[in-house]
A = this chain, B = another copy of it.
């Protein structure tokens, strides 16, 4: 897939009137709110400010567009995760910051969307194996990021960083689910804060 940012030699014909990443950002809002099946191409192209043929030429069909959006969202999220985990403070403080930032995104108005992977990709998994595969890869990458954070900390080596990462990831997924089902940010933050010492024990 072309990213639109590569400064490859200007191709010959009429240039694109959009930037791929901007389209993915706009489309993400629709997929995040409605899910893959629930989002119609009318809504998607309206949100993107593009006509359907342009979407199709750029991304292929709806499934490929969804997967591109999911990977874009996941990659951005993991970058944010890495950044917070590489920041200052104890691992407890950084982990708490990770949860706080996640909860702010998960409970953002107006939809309290939760996480795109947990909240929208999971439901399609049995029907669309490629979506399941992309989602599983992203969850694995999230846990790898957490594992790096724990490995670089001064926590005891037992439990292993990978085990701590699985646990920290599980708590994050649960928060995402509860956010999408309407849980209040304050409750989720209290829960997250109560889990940090357990994960870092």
Residues of A within 8 A of B (CB): 33-35, 37-38, 111-114, 118-127, 132-133, 135-136, 139, 159, 163, 166-167, 169-171, 173-175, 177-178, 180-183, 191, 194-195, 198, 201
Contact = CB atoms under 8 A, between A and B. Distances in A.
Which label, helix, strand, loop or mixed, suits the secondary structure of the A interface?
helix
Contacts of A182: 125, 132-133, 136
Stoichiometry, copies per complex: 2
B35 A118 contact: no
Contact of A114 (B113, B119, B122, B174): B122
A171 B199 CA distance: 13
Given A122-B181, A177-B177, A35 B37 contact: yes
A174 B169 contact: yes
A180 B121 CA distance: 10
Contact of A170 (B133, B171, B201): B171
Given A171-B174, A174-B171, A194-B163, A180 B122 contact: yes
Contacts of A171: 170, 174
A123 B126 contact: no
Contact of A181 (B114, B136, B194): B136
B167 A132 contact: no
A31 to B, nearest CB: 10
A166 B191 contact: yes
